[in-house]
Amino acid sequence: MQIRVINPNTTLSMTDKIGEAAQRIAAPGTRIVATSPASGPVSIESHFDEVVSAVGVAEEVLAGEREQTDAYIVACFGDPGLLAARELTRAPVIGIAEAAFHMATLISTRFSIVTTLGRTGIIAEHLLQAYGFAHHCRRVRAAEIPVLDLEDSGRAALERIIAECRRARDEDNIGAIVLGCGGMADLRGEISREVGLPVVEGVTAAVKLAESLVSLDLGTSKFGDLAFPRPKTFTGRFEHLSGIGG
């Protein structure tokens, strides 16, 4: 089984970290291919960043289709371009926020999200509403650290995340914590030990869901709105996408 894990930003150190975390949790025989777009934002911290990165996500799915990929993971907690990516393939495509929400509800009746910045927490709130998980989430908390601090500041960023997770444990009346950033893919185990609660991280959760869907021979439906897009002409910088679809 081959799973293409797409980091929608262009920071290669984060792509490598996400890929390593995914491979560690993957079953024997599962090959993780971690990729990122050639162009786009170095981190995703706004609606604008998400819109730009979504094109790169779609292009990475198209590249994966040429390699007979079995499943895809969109490894940003905003799940940018998720539905568009599903239109382009019959393989399962899983966003890490959606995966983490599902997993958290299987082990607890209430959870809180700990993410990087307050403004991205608002994006997480939108996803909770869209996916139908708002009534399970007690609070979306932000450690107020830029995403790239997870790459650059090491222990200092981790300590701020742990401190916010402890506040969630003590104040929110929850059973689990969801980490709200793909850049936290390697932190789940240590945070869980420090806080004493189950901690769900979206990249690793998505890997196990992807493996399950492939094993069950369940792919993206091509009926309704997730059917392949109608082929058409694109112009300018998107000319290379002309004719995509079926």
Residues 101 and 198 in one domain: yes
Identify the pLDDT of residue 155. 83
Cα 158–chain centre separation: 19
Quick check: 228 and 84 in contact, CB under 8 A? no
Quick check: 91 and 71 in contact, CB under 8 A? yes
Identify the pLDDT of residue 192. 96
- Enclosing H/E stretch for 64: helix 47-65
Identify the pLDDT of residue 20. 97
For the chain, which ranges sit under pLDDT 70? 153-154
Residues 120 and 89 in one domain: no
Q: Which domain holds residue 81?
A: 2-95+205-241
Alpha carbon of 85 to those of 73, 145, 216, 228, 240: distances in Å?
Answer: 10, 29, 21, 10, 16
Residues 50 and 130 in one domain: no
Residue 202, both tokens: 């979206």
Identify the pLDDT of residue 153. 62
For strand 137-142 and strand 93-95, is the pairing parallel, antiparallel, or unpaired? unpaired
Q: Can you tell me which residue has the tokens 């993957």?
A: 26
CA distance 242 to 230: 10
Tens-place pLDDT, residues 32-74: 999 999 999 999 999 999 999 999 999 999 999 999 899 999 9
Residue 34: CATH number of its domain: 3.40.50.12500
Alpha carbon of 143 to those of 52, 167, 170: distances in Å?
Answer: 25, 11, 16
